[in-house]
Structure 1
Amino acid sequence: MHDWALLSLLFDWEGAHLTLTLRNRSSDIVSLTVDGVVRLMVPKQSEWGRSGMVNEFTGPTRQLDGTEKLQIEMQSGDVIEITAGSFSFP
């Protein structure tokens, strides 16, 4: 998912559901869906400069409490961190 563009994040607070909309290298719009979100960190400090492109995905990795954790490093240097029950990748 390197060089995919992150277009939006839509978080349904009540339902603990997150949808990330991305554009892949073929310019197709795809969605990553996340259910049972318990933690969502979305910094926007752009330490490496402004960019909406993904550098790398790490995970999801199983946590001791049974949830899974995904980290999305943006080319801006920001790391989006999601801890949830399940992830559905495009």
Structure 2
Amino acid sequence: MDLELKELHDASLAAIRFDWATRTCHFDFSGSPKSDVPFSLVFNAVAELVLPAAFPWGPSVSVLEAKVCGIGRYEIEMQSGDTITVVAPNHSFKPTR
């Protein structure tokens, strides 16, 4: 899949799944302006996952911005005002259909 983190603006987050044993985290999206098919953003060897859901700007399932903040640190800012942080060595995109 040819998506990049910067192309996640307005993507719709459907679910987040974390496998404790394998330290794998899947962010499942129902689509985005760049992809009309469902896809997952997958992180492997996750060392840290911070998942606030306070909705300071109101409820929303849409991504405002996704970026790399240093080596192995990813931030996904939601349009709810929450920022999800993942510390992992890499990421990949995979279609879910």
TM over 0.5, shorter chain: yes
- Matched with 2:67 is 58
- Matched with 1:45 is 54
* TM-score computed with the length of structure 2 as normaliser: 0.82
Give the count of matched residue pairs.
85
Residue ranges of structure 1 left out of the alignment (5+ in a row): 63-67
Separation (CA, whole Å) in 2 of partners of 1:35 and 1:60: 17
Percent of aligned pairs sharing the same letter: 33
1:19-44 per-position Cα deviation (integer Å, ceiling 9, x unaligned):
11112124310111110000000000
State the shift of 1:60 in Å: 5.5
The RMSD of aligned alpha carbons is 1.3
* TM-score computed with the length of structure 1 as normaliser: 0.88
More helix by share: 2
Q: Which amino acid is 1:30 matched to? A: F
Residue ranges of structure 2 left out of the alignment (5+ in a row): 1-7
More strand by share: 1
1:75 aligned to 2:79? yes
Give secondary structure in 2 for the equivalent of 1:31: strand
- Matched with 1:65 is none
Moved over 6 A (4+): none
